[in-house]
Amino acid sequence: MIRSATMLAGAGVLAACTAAAPGAQAVAPLGSDPVVTGGTYDSGGGITVAVDLRERDGRTMVCGVWAESRQQSVLTLRKAKGVLDTGSVAIGGETVLRGLRFMQEVQPMAGYGGQEARCMVTSRPWQAGDDARRVAVHLPRQVVHVEDDDEGGAFVVRFRQTGPGAGGA
């Protein structure tokens, strides 16, 4: 009897662990029509972000990929992850996730539907009608590089959200 109770308790703990807790990561393909946005750098080049939302164990799950321009200034190389860190995803005007670095990097392409994406389960419960709500990705304007010269001048490179900026295949 004790052995059965111990096994039953262990099975309950295991079942609780398999439910998607907020912050849990998963992998799933993007839907056929993900939200696609991004931005450009003053010096040329940019990034594209593709996002899809879905329900997982009663929670809102954000899935996404990002791509970086193949050709861009040396001043903006390896700056995309910093931009992603400041990004957020909202559904129906409610921010559900901040920080997009978890997303999978992919090559720039014409369409991102079906791409294998990393996903993050949020603490927000999935609600009836969420499939029809507007999803928005926000990537704030920011300075990504500053170069001072000896004469008191400065060269600044900024990122701003302008739409898909990585180019396509």
pLDDT tens by residue, 100-139: 999 999 999 999 999 999 999 999 999 999 989 999 999 9
What is the reported pLDDT for 15? 40
Confirm if 47 and 67 have CB atoms less than 8 A apart: yes
pTM for the predicted model, two decimal places? 0.83
Write the pLDDT tens digit of every residue in 15-55.
Answer: 443 445 667 799 999 999 999 999 999 999 999 999 999 99
Residue found by looking up tokens 């079942």 in the block: 15
Dihedral angle of Cα 65, 28, 137, 84, to the nearest 10 degrees: -40
Residue 158 sits at φ, ψ, to 5 deg, of -115, 155
Write the CB contacts of 158 (distance below 8 Å, at least 6 apart in sequence). 41, 42, 141, 142, 143, 144
What is the reported pLDDT for 161? 97
